[in-house]
């Protein structure tokens, strides 16, 4: 609140008084809340003139806003995974820039028509009881829910009537609004209409004008079922050709461009896939040569943090010595993209206490608890990806797949063994991959997930990136002192890096599947990027470059998918490895990331 007031340039008297005595006031608030005796005060009416109209805001007292903000900070991470892919406002790690980029992506996919609308008097007409019930179901704490119920239902000074909806000035109101408006998002996504919603402001996309009018009909129905209504003055079918405004941006067929928000690291991954080639080091530089001794690359060693080699690629003794001495991990894969191993420096990474904790956890109830969180996180992300990619021609298949995933998610908390969990994960994959294949452009569609060998371009891309991701997960686990072979969910048969496979699960749809589907949808991956070899299909050099570039851009995307943490997607992977170690070593709960 202090930051908001200072940003506005005026520190309100109430905030100033609270700041002057903040330690004692916060201590009294904590005592009253713990005793269950705290109650919020009435709302203060504040008229706000907007042109010829006057709107009345209902502002809570400072103390009430402090309580609401504390609750929001404590529970936002519990609510966020439930909100889906269409909502961009009032969520950590999502904002206007993300919404604008999503619009540009949908334009690139060939969706030229858009419904622009917003919800009339959103906060005052929001179904408060529904919002609070959903909050309580997700948070699971009756004491907190009771406080939220009081904060959202208070009289207004003057006439002392109970204000309808939720108060505009309460920090919890945007969260409660998102909990209700997710119904609108879900209805539109289920009908194959990609949607970008920022608070009560919506942009809904369609391949034709007729489709846009159908999207508007679905929107009207979904909003009216909540007892709310669209703002007729701000509802219109538009297109990129003539242009439209959304979130302060002017959109047309070219502007704004589709720009990835990525952090540029000081060091990058080096991918080498030239059969018969070799990597050498000379005078502080890494040099890559082809089989006929043509120089392909010459860069400073200091710019490389990781080397990934595919097929028959030689590493000189100087490169091996430099990599091992400088903690530069080297991942080795076959020509077809199958993971072979990782070269890491020898350090005392596996201290006895951590090894004992890992071994003990493998056969304990803790493995089941962590395993449930892993499977839940993965299936929820599979569900989100299907929602995001659903289009009009796949409505029925996507609806059936999401129904199956929802049914399986409901069974995860009841699973009593890791074998049951793996069965649920397998059933989810059986529902998910045929639908994901159907969501691809026609030339890339597939019916089953094929691995060794992949039978089509899309599966070849998935297999290649799963290999890269597995190598990163192994490195992340080594980095936090965990043995990648001692899994909690996956068994340690066949000398697999089972714990790395555990860590990897939620990142498969979040990173790899998302990259491949997005690349295919925008024409960056086509059937021309595959070549038949033996009984399967491998990516061409151009195809491999395209998917590796998409993977790196995704990994370098900055976001915040964990409470109190922000950074690139790659940093989130390493953070999850740290959190997995804490869950194994202590009683701290392991949870998945939010979709970002």
State the CATH number of the domain containing residue 513. 1.20.120.920
> Which of 510, 491, 239, 237 is closest to 380 using CA atoms?
510
Which H/E stretch holds residue 159?
none
Domain end point (choices 297, 320, 343): 343
Who's near 105: CB < 8 A, 6+ residues apart?
258, 518, 522
Domain end point (choices 321, 343, 365): 343
Q: Are the CB atoms for 549 and 524 separated by under 8 Å?
A: no
Same domain as 380, residue 479: yes
Number of domains into which the chain is organized: 3
CATH of the domain at 72: 3.90.1850.10
pLDDT of residue 282: 93
Same domain as 397, residue 372: yes
Give the predicted TM-score (pTM) of the model: 0.86
* Rounded CA separation 473/501 (Å): 8
Residue 416 resides in a domain: yes
| DSSP class of 481 | T
Residue 28 resides in a domain: no
Q: Are the CB atoms for 297 and 286 separated by under 8 Å?
A: yes
311 φ/ψ sector (left φ>0, alpha ψ -120 to 50, else beta): left
Same domain as 422, residue 339: no
Question: Tens-digit pLDDT profile for the chain (596 aa)?
Answer: 555 555 544 556 666 677 667 778 888 888 989 999 999 999 888 887 777 777 777 888 888 989 999 999 999 988 998 999 999 999 988 999 999 999 999 999 999 999 999 999 999 999 999 999 999 999 999 999 999 999 999 888 887 888 789 988 889 999 999 999 999 999 999 999 999 999 999 999 999 999 999 999 999 999 999 999 999 999 999 999 999 999 999 999 999 887 766 666 667 889 898 889 999 999 999 999 999 999 999 999 999 988 989 889 999 999 999 998 888 889 888 877 778 888 877 665 567 777 888 888 888 899 999 999 999 999 999 999 999 999 999 999 999 999 999 999 999 999 999 999 999 999 999 999 999 999 999 999 999 999 889 999 999 999 999 999 999 999 899 888 889 999 999 877 667 899 999 999 999 999 999 999 999 999 999 999 999 988 899 999 999 999 999 999 999 999 999 888 889 999 999 999 999 999 998 889 999 999 88
Same domain as 112, residue 172: yes
Domain end point (choices 343, 375, 400): 343
pLDDT of residue 8: 46
Residue 30 resides in a domain: no
Residue 326 resides in a domain: yes
Same domain as 384, residue 315: no
CATH of the domain at 325: 3.100.10.20
Give all strands (DSSP E) within 326-449, no chain letters: 329-333, 339-343
pLDDT of residue 9: 46
Residue 564 resides in a domain: yes
Same domain as 424, residue 305: no
Alpha-carbon torsion angle 217, 218, 219, 221, nearest 10: 90
Residue 531 resides in a domain: yes
What would the DSSP string read from start to end of 296-342? EEEEEGGGEEEEEEESS-EE-HHHHHHHHHTT-EEEEE-TT--EEEE
| DSSP class of 590 | P
Same domain as 390, residue 370: yes
* Rounded CA separation 576/590 (Å): 9
Residue 316 resides in a domain: yes
pLDDT of residue 274: 87
Same domain as 182, residue 119: yes
Same domain as 562, residue 471: yes
| DSSP class of 469 | H
Same domain as 313, residue 167: no
pLDDT of residue 137: 95
Same domain as 513, residue 370: yes
Q: Which domain holds residue 451?
A: 352-585
Residue 459 resides in a domain: yes
Same domain as 142, residue 61: yes
């Amino acid at each position: 609140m202090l930051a908001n007031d200072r940003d506005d340039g005026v520190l309100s008297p109430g905030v100033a008084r609270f700041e002057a005595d903040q330690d004692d006031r916060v201590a009294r608030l904590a005592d009253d809340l713990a005793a269950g005796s705290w109650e919020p005060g009435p709302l203060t009416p504040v008229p706000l003139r907007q042109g010829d109209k006057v709107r009345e805001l209902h502002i809570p007292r400072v103390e009430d806003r402090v309580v609401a903000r504390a609750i929001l900070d404590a529970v936002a991470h519990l609510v966020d995974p439930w909100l889906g892919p269409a909502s961009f406002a009032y969520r950590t790690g999502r904002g206007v820039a993300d919404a604008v980029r999503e619009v540009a992506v949908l334009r690139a996919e060939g969706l030229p028509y858009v419904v622009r609308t917003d919800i009339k008097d959103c906060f005052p007409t929001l179904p408060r009881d529904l919002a609070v019930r959903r909050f309580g179901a997700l948070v699971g704490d009756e004491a907190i829910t009771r406080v939220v119920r009081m904060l959202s239902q208070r009289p207004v000074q003057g006439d002392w009537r109970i204000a309808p909806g939720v108060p505009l000035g309460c920090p919890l109101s945007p969260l409660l609004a998102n909990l209700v408006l997710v119904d609108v998002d879900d209805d539109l996504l289920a009908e194959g209409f990609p949607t970008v919603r920022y608070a009560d402001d919506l942009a809904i996309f369609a391949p034709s004008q007729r489709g846009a009018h159908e999207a508007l009909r679905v929107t009207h129905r979904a909003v009216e079922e909540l007892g709310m209504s669209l703002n007729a003055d701000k509802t219109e079918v538009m297109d990129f050709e003539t242009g439209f405004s959304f979130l302060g941006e002017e959109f047309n067929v070219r502007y704004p461009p589709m720009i990835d928000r990525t952090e540029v690291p000081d060091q990058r991954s080096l991918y080498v896939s030239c059969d018969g080639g070799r990597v050498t080091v000379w005078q502080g530089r890494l040099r890559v040569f082809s089989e006929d001794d043509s120089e392909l690359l010459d860069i400073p060693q200091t710019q490389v943090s990781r080397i990934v080699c595919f097929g028959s690629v030689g590493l000189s003794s100087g490169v091996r010595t430099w990599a091992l001495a400088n903690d530069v991990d080297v991942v080795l894969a076959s020509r077809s993209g199958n993971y072979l191993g990782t070269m890491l420096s020898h350090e005392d990474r596996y201290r006895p206490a951590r090894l004992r904790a890992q071994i003990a956890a493998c056969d304990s109830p803790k493995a089941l608890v962590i395993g449930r969180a892993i499977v839940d996180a993965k299936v929820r992300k599979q569900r989100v990806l299907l929602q995001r990619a659903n289009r009009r021609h796949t409505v029925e298949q996507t609806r059936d797949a999401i129904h199956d995933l929802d049914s399986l998610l409901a069974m995860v908390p009841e699973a009593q063994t890791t074998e049951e969990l793996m069965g649920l994960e397998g059933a989810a994959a059986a529902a998910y991959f045929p639908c994901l294949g159907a969501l691809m452009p026609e030339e890339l569609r597939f019916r089953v997930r094929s691995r060794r060998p992949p039978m089509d371009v899309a599966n070849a891309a998935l297999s290649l990136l799963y290999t890269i991701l597995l190598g990163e997960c192994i490195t992340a686990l080594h980095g936090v002192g965990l043995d990648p072979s001692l899994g909690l969910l996956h068994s340690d048969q066949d000398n697999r890096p089972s714990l790395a496979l555990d860590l990897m699960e939620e990142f498969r749809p979040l990173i790899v599947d998302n990259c491949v589907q997005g690349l295919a949808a925008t024409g960056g991956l086509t059937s021309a990027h595959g070549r038949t070899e033996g009984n399967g299909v491998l990516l061409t050099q151009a195809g491999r470059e395209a998917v590796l570039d998409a993977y790196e851009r995704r990994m370098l995307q900055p976001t915040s998918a964990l409470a109190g943490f922000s950074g690139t997607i790659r940093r989130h992977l390493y953070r999850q490895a740290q959190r997995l170690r804490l869950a194994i070593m202590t009683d701290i709960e392991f949870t998945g990331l939010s979709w970002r």
